[in-house]
Structure 1
Amino acid sequence: MDEVTYFSKPEHIFPHLVDGRIPTEQFLSACQGIADFVGFLGTAFAPVKADISGNVLKVRTRFEKNKAGQEFLESLIDSDLAENNGKLGIATEGLLWLKRGLEFMLHMLGRMIDQYNEGGDRSKTESLVSVINYAYDHSLKRHHGFVSKQLFKLVIHAAPYRKTILKAVALGKEGLEDVCIHHMVEHRANFTQNVNALVNYYVAKGLETPNPT
């Protein structure tokens, strides 16, 4: 498949782990790619995009100060914690919420892929409301208070149709739905590994509790 889509661009691809560690620079580039993808969901999702981008910036600001010593995300986390007496600093708190946002997006993309590949009458799964609801229930919901949950319910119902998203992923080209899904499947592999490694590191450091779901 020679067609270029949003998720086949090198700058949007999450890095391969190196001895179980996450290369910081490529990780942050891919995270910004996820934030920009959220922009495809429409103006109702602008706060979600801004939240992810803002947290990427917090981590990148710290990374830029010492790239060599923070080549891997785990080193950046350790360094930030050390400077803040074992407590979350600006970068590690930003990364905590970035991690949570990534978990949401990973569930969302995964659900989109699975529904598309189930075949059958795809018109029945064109609406992304159930996809986003599923992703929210399995990620961000446990971290949100009552007000945030109510606001997110409103956002979810502004979700576009899958065909609109896939056309955006195809960079505006028609008839590339299968190619887009294929590239999303390939993208999901490293995305999953990166998120799982980050989740496990935060849990191991006592900075996050495991997701019960």
Structure 2
Amino acid sequence: MEGVLYKWTNYLSGWQPRWFLLCGGILSYYDSQEDAWKGCKGSIQMAVCEIQVHPADNTRMDLIIPGEQYFYLKARNAVERQKWLVALGTAKACLTDSRTQKEKEFTENTEALKTKMSELRLYCNLLVQQVHKTKEASISGVSEPESEIDMGALLKSTCDTFLKTLEECMQIANTAFTSELLHQTPPGSPHLAVLRTNKIKHSVLSGHTPMERQMELNPCENGSVKVEINHQEQTLIKSLECLNLETNEGSRDVSIDNHIAEDLAGIKEDGESKLQAVESSGAHKLLQLEMNSLSGLTLCEEDRNDNDSPTFFSVMSNRFSDIELREEEGIPTEEFLESCYAIVPVLDKLGPTVFAPVKMDFVGNIKKINQKFITNKEEFDTLQKIVLHEVNAGVAQVRNSATEALLWLKRGLKFLKGFLTEVKNGEKNIQTALNNAYGKTLRQHHGWVVRGVFALALRAAPTYEDFVAALSVEDCDPQEETFYKGMQRDLNIYLPAMEKQLNILDTLYEVHGLESDEVV
């Protein structure tokens, strides 16, 4: 849509006619239609701005990015303003719908890629075993009876299936992880944040035995893809190490595992013969381990150290303990916001209904900071830069500014940290833990109305057993001592890192006099 709107310029010039053009989710304006060739005088992204209708003037509307941009506009009449409101609202809604659709596709492709990667790991191990077995047979010079398995045909079939699965993996990766999607999708979506795994470089010993390998995917189309693992796969590698499977030459019997063959048959190509797994008893355990890697099942469950028991905090997508500070203790904005989103489910575990207002306020502050961040990701790559930018612009203490949002966000994080510290220190009464944390953090900033709302929420707090059970993952029993030790281990890592970053922000706010005694 395009046309003339009156824009407030300043107190000297007042309202001036400008030519506005709405295209691709961006509203741009020019001095006039004839001067459009000179380039726009300014623009605003509809995806991140608020549309406000003036309560008294039926020709006026305001477009606002809090603390950043303000467009005060007037149409020639109420009918024309209504047309612009419909067009602007539709553009904003379409951008939101498009982003939601992309996030849905991203989620589906990610799940498909996880499945294919599991298959790929299985075939890789199976291939290495078969190559080793073929090498063993050639060295020994003993020819296999006709009744035994044709190792050459089996090896060829495994290679074909491995390459086919690898190709499918790359196709899914190229579809799901294009640079455009990753850059256009801000860390403002909780379910997307969950998909971003805490990645660690995958370095497994390359070896001379079938149980040791190093897999590297070569560059394909969109660049190199490195194999990376999350926390569950870390556990898997530890389990593989504890197997300590060693090849015992001359004493291994060739056997066929029908169960593995049936699993492989479900993903074979049409017309191809059923793949069969030829393996020793130790190799069979490894394959079972690989097949169950996505669900976190490990063979060494009984022999694992107690500290290996996973919890909500060890498998969460982004953690404060994983954030690497920049120069001069700069806190990276994107990683910090993702870590904030990752801890939101703790509020759901306390009570998705009664703690909904707390959650909405918490998430709302994250989104306000994110809106500021995505206007210039390079300039605002750390939280300190956002705050200092608004301090220099004189808008740091303006309502709904990113600085104000960060102030309330860190207060909310202090409350969660205080509560989790109470639980870690052995407090078995969730109501008491919440009340103690609230009294030390948020209570001083709340008026009697908000305090009353929180008091009601406390009454609906879960029991200690129910809360701890909600923090368990997989099939772990929260009543077991191993789970308690796992919680202690994870919180001893998570909470100090969280506290360090909050202390950095406290210092920043104190230096610039940004702390507020205002009560809400």
1:197, CA displacement in angstroms? Answer: 0.9
Q: What is the aligned-residue identity percentage? A: 31
Which residue identity is paired with 2:387? Answer: I
Deviations 1:65-100 (A, max 9, x none): 111111111001112333344534521111111111
Question: Unaligned regions of 5+ residues in structure 1, if any?
Answer: 116-124
The aligned counterpart of 2:477 is 174
Equivalences for residues 36-185 of structure 1 within 5 A: 36-42=345-351, 43-88=353-398, 90-115=401-426, 125-171=427-473, 173-175=476-478, 176-185=483-492
The aligned counterpart of 1:119 is none
Which residue identity is paired with 2:430? Answer: L
**How far apart in 2 are the matches of 1:77 and 1:9?**
31
Which residue identity is paired with 1:5? Answer: T
Which structure has greater helix proportion? 1
The aligned counterpart of 1:196 is 503
Deviates more, 1:10-19 or 1:130-139: 10-19
The aligned counterpart of 2:311 is 5
TM-score, length of structure 1 as denominator length: 0.86
Which structure has greater strand proportion? 2
Contact 1:36 1:49 in 2 (8 A): no
TM-score, length of structure 2 as denominator length: 0.37
The aligned counterpart of 2:73 is none
Which residue identity is paired with 2:379? Answer: G
1:114, CA displacement in angstroms? Answer: 0.8
Contact 1:170 1:177 in 2 (8 A): no
In the alignment of these two chains, the number of paired residues is 201
Which residue identity is paired with 1:27? Answer: F
1:109, CA displacement in angstroms? Answer: 0.8
Deviations 1:156-198 (A, max 9, x none): 1221122222222223632323212321221112111111111
1:209, CA displacement in angstroms? Answer: 5.7
1:25, CA displacement in angstroms? Answer: 1.1
Contact 1:58 1:91 in 2 (8 A): yes
Question: Unaligned regions of 5+ residues in structure 2, if any?
Answer: 1-306
The alignment's C-alpha RMSD in Å is 2.0
The aligned counterpart of 2:333 is 24
1:2, CA displacement in angstroms? Answer: 4.0
**How far apart in 1 are the matches of 2:387 and 2:396?**
10
Secondary structure at 2:425's aligned position in 1? Answer: helix
Contact 1:103 1:139 in 2 (8 A): yes
1:11, CA displacement in angstroms? Answer: 3.2
